[in-house]
Amino acid sequence: MDAIISDAKKRTVPFEIGGVTYELAITLNVIEEIQRRKGDFSDAMTEALGSIEALKEIFLLIFNEAVEVWNEDHPGEQQRPLFTAKSLGRRLTYTDIQDLQGMLFSLIGASMPDAPAQKGGAVTEEMTELLDGEDVEEPDAKNAAAPDAR
């Protein structure tokens, strides 16, 4: 089995609060917790765009995930404390809220895996010759009589 190696910086969106930059991402842990609390992930994202309370709840999960990842990645350094709903709410301004609402889709895009390379390609002359040599059944009368959908 081939290992998939990803660049964590490419999959996060930086956000600074109080001089500390947090690398935000929607991880599997965040998705799982959102689904546990809200049911449908897409509905929760839509709700967050129209409700400050819902947005703060989702970003509390996202910021705390970023804190936990940072703490795991920097065991010898001073550990960052987790946010509470109140402590995060105190540090975010109205402008931050607008930025965070816009950032939701960036986070979703950054957190998703890259699209796989498109399979297939040009049909070579050799492949065409091989296909020409194959017996291909003619469509039955029912399908042959169907109008062309083009």
- The set of long-range contacts for 87-94, using a CB threshold of 8 Å and a minimum separation of 24, is 88/56, 88/59, 88/60, 88/63, 89/56, 91/17, 91/18, 92/17, 92/56, 92/59
Q: What would the mean pLDDT of 120-140 be, rounded to a whole number?
A: 56
72-125 tens-digit pLDDT: 999 999 999 999 999 999 999 888 888 888 887 777 766 555 544 445 555 556
The first and second tokens of residue 27, run together, are 């991880």
Structure confidence at residue 72 (pLDDT) = 96
Please give the model's pTM, rounded to 2 decimal places: 0.66
Structure confidence at residue 20 (pLDDT) = 94
Which of 97, 17, 99 shows the shortest CA–CA distance to 64?
Answer: 17
Report the SS3 class of residue 21: strand
| Residues 38 and 47: beta-carbon distance below 8 Å | yes
The first and second tokens of residue 107, run together, are 């986070």
Structure confidence at residue 59 (pLDDT) = 92
- The set of long-range contacts for 47-53, using a CB threshold of 8 Å and a minimum separation of 24, is 48/101, 48/104, 49/101, 49/104, 52/97
28-87 tens-digit pLDDT: 999 999 999 999 888 898 888 888 899 899 999 999 999 999 999 999 999 999 999 999
